[in-house]
Amino acid sequence: MGSSIKIRAHEIDSQVTVKSVISHPMETGDRKIRKTGRRIPPHYIREIIVSRNRRIVMEAFWGKSISRNPYLSFQIPGRRGDTITISWLDNRGNSDTATTRVR
């Protein structure tokens, strides 16, 4: 199985723009299955960690209000060839990590 994280990172004038999409259901735990009336259990990303060249540059703590397959975009100082790594951890203990080089 491939990574749940897709990343692109481009440098312009010493600013790196990072764009990513994370494939994740992001269930709130508030929805019900129509036929049975049973609640769909919560399943959402709790923590995002972004590193540049193995140094943490951003850490975010999310809750259940983030949409399915979240899109994340931000800018950080950097240059071509730097390594960007994005990792997530969800409320069920699942996690994933993806890395790319800045173009």
Q: Where are the domains of the chain?
A: 5-101
pLDDT of residue 4: 97
Residue 1 has pLDDT above 70, yes or no: no
- What's the mean pLDDT in 63-92? 97
Write out pLDDT tens, residues 55-74. 999 999 999 999 999 999 99
**How far is residue 57's CA from residue 50's CA, in Å, rounded to a whole number?**
6
**How far is residue 94's CA from residue 103's CA, in Å, rounded to a whole number?**
30
pLDDT of residue 24: 98
Please tell me what DSSP assigns to residue 43.
B
- Residue 2 pLDDT class (50, 70, 90 cuts): confident
CATH fold of 5-101, please?
Immunoglobulin-like (2.60.40)
Phi, psi (deg, nearest 5) at residue 12:
-140, 120
**How far is residue 69's CA from residue 21's CA, in Å, rounded to a whole number?**
6
- What's the mean pLDDT in 9-15? 97
